[in-house]
Structure 1
Amino acid sequence: MESPCILVCSIDDKTGYCFGCGRTRDEIGAWTLYSGEERRTIMASLPARLETVERKPRRETRRTRMARGSDS
């Protein structure tokens, strides 16, 4: 089954869209219940939705933090 999920799975409080794929919580939850046509219609709207989401800054990983610490 086709899915726009990129495993980010965090919802923007302002827009209600997932930062990763652009779907709403309801759309994510019902994804397997939609017909192929319904999924394609939603997927066609995702690029425009993602333009309205303020990107979260990337979280610093332990590896990055450790590498930064060894450079100082």
Structure 2
Amino acid sequence: MTRNSNDIWSRAEVESPCNKVCQIHPETRLCLGCARSIDEIGAWGSMTPKMRSDIMADLPNRTVAPTTRRGGRAARLKRSFD
């Protein structure tokens, strides 16, 4: 039997949605690359396949970054005083 070297690392589990664009949006707290929260990213390795599948199913419904303008300097100053 001939084995491909990649066979050693393949697993029968839900793959991570990570696409190596790892940056957390400061307001939504979601990764701009994969749309997972920082908690989901950190716990991914210990999650059950069901938990991973549930997250994967929800990812298309997530808005990673707000689609409206934040308001520039005036809005930023207002947020810093709230």
- Taking structure 1 as the reference length, the TM-score comes to 0.68
Structure 1 position 9, deviation (Å): 0.6
Q: Does 1:17 align with 2:39?
A: no
Gaps of 5+ in 2: 1-12, 67-82
Report matched runs for 1:1-72 at 5 Å: 1=13, 2-49=15-62, 52-54=63-65
CA displacement, residues 2-25 of structure 1 (integer Å, 9 cap, x when unaligned): 110000010011111100000011
Larger radius of gyration: 2
Q: Percent sequence identity over matched residues?
A: 51
> Which portions of structure 1, spanning 4 or more consecutive aligned residues, are displaced by more than 3 angstroms?
none
Query: 2-side partners of 1:11 and 1:26: how far apart?
Result: 11
Structure 1 position 34, deviation (Å): 0.2
Query: 2-side partners of 1:41 and 1:33: how far apart?
Result: 14
- Taking structure 2 as the reference length, the TM-score comes to 0.60
Aligned residues: 53
RMSD: 1.4
